[in-house]
A and B are shown apart, each in its own frame.
Chain A
Amino acid sequence: MADGTRGKGDRKNPPDDEAALSARLESLGDRLATVRRPTENDSRSPQTADTTGMARGLRLSTELVAGVLVGAAIGWLLDRWLGISPWGLIVFLLLGFAAGVLNVMRVAGVAPDRTK
């Protein structure tokens, strides 16, 4: 609908209006850029803030368990392969617990992220 009327208008316009049209397009592009820029820079706009909060909460729930499980699994396998039961399980369960706590602290933002 809007496209149709615009097309008719263009056909009627003399060629020297093209410069004005391109100037208008340029200014529109600038305005679009200024509108877009803030959303790119601060991605955590207020609209998504509560969603990310709940998402972070959901993340926390399994991080600790995963660390302990991995530690226990590695320890148990080492015990079986090397026949050093129960030392592998004891040591790696503790290390796994530490890893799990580290995971949780990273998600909670208490410990610094390793990438920074």
Chain B
Amino acid sequence: MADPVQQFEIVKLFPVAKIGGQEIAFTNSAAFMVLAVVGITGFLLTSTARRAVVPGRMQSLAELSYEFVASTIGSTTGKEGMRFFPFVFSLFMFVLVANLVGLVPYTFTVTSHIIITVALAMSVFLTVVVYGVWKHGLHFFGLFVPKGIPIFILPLIVFIEVLSFISRPISHSVRLFANMLAGHITLKVFASFITLLGGLGAVGIASAVLPLAMVIGLTALELLVAFLQAYVFTILTCIYLNDALHPGH
């Protein structure tokens, strides 16, 4: 049986530099990140190059992705949130394309590594903290002090609120990572059942139809999950940015 975790292995393609005795190499993960970024940039540049009044297929797709992210930001943070549009749109497109590229056989799923998702989630978290403090000063920390709480249990509530705030980047990153990892392992396990059963003669081949049907269903599900996880990541980014924009309303 093929190792279902082998698909997540990091392979060094070529060394780039040596920093402090630590070799920095261009890995397959980096290659697929570059592929995602180049793919998104190329898609957006070519599809919007004509700027037709009546959009063609590709331009509709680009406009659809813009409208989708813009309406998500608008519904969660209001008009002021649009200043974060480039950031949120980049996150959404990167996660979505990385998830979708990972579904193609023999590719590498960038978002199935927790270091990537933590880096994305921490960039959101730090943006929220830095922007919140820069814009609202100490008033930003009013986020941790809910109104209408009796003074004698307030310290406890503030502690819980702070913990809840710190747990955000963790749930933000683990959700994406775990969903992609689990989905890809499940696909691999069911796919290996097909080859295992296929080697058992006529009865095996007949019963291999069952895991095959399962794999087809799971692939469709994974396609949905790939989109939904990108959407969830985006909407949570917007909700967190909303706290930086309007703390303690």
**Interface of A toward B, CB cutoff 8 Å:** 2-3, 39-40, 43-44, 51-52, 54-55, 58-59, 61-63, 65-67, 69-71, 74, 92, 95-96, 98-100, 102-103, 106, 114-116
B163/A95 in contact, CB under 8 A: yes
Would you give 11 A-B contacts (Cβ < 8 Å), ordered by A? A43-B71, A43-B72, A65-B171, A66-B171, A74-B166, A95-B159, A100-B164, A100-B167, A102-B164, A114-B243, A115-B248
Which residues of chain A have C-beta atoms less than 8 A from B232's C-beta?
A: 55, 58-59
A48 to B141, CA, bound (A): 34
Further pairs besides A62-B170, A70-B166: 12, Cβ < 8 Å: A51-B228, A51-B231, A52-B235, A55-B231, A58-B175, A62-B171, A67-B167, A95-B163, A98-B160, A99-B160, A100-B164, A114-B243
Which residues of chain A have C-beta atoms less than 8 A from B143's C-beta?
A: 114
- Interface residue SS majority, chain B: helix
Determine if B7 is an interface residue (Cβ-Cβ < 8 Å). Answer: no
B228/A54 in contact, CB under 8 A: yes
B236/A66 in contact, CB under 8 A: no
B161 closest partner in A (C-beta): A114
**Interface of B toward A, CB cutoff 8 Å:** 53-54, 71-72, 74-75, 143, 146, 156, 159-161, 163-164, 166-168, 170-171, 174-175, 178-179, 228-229, 231-232, 235-236, 242-243, 246-249
A65 to B178, CA, bound (A): 12
B248/A71 in contact, CB under 8 A: no
* A55, A62, A63, A67: the one within 8 Å of B178 (CB): A62
- Interface residue SS majority, chain A: helix
A58 to B231, CA, bound (A): 11
Given A69-B167, A70-B166, A70-B167, residue A102 in contact with residue B175 (CB < 8 A)? no
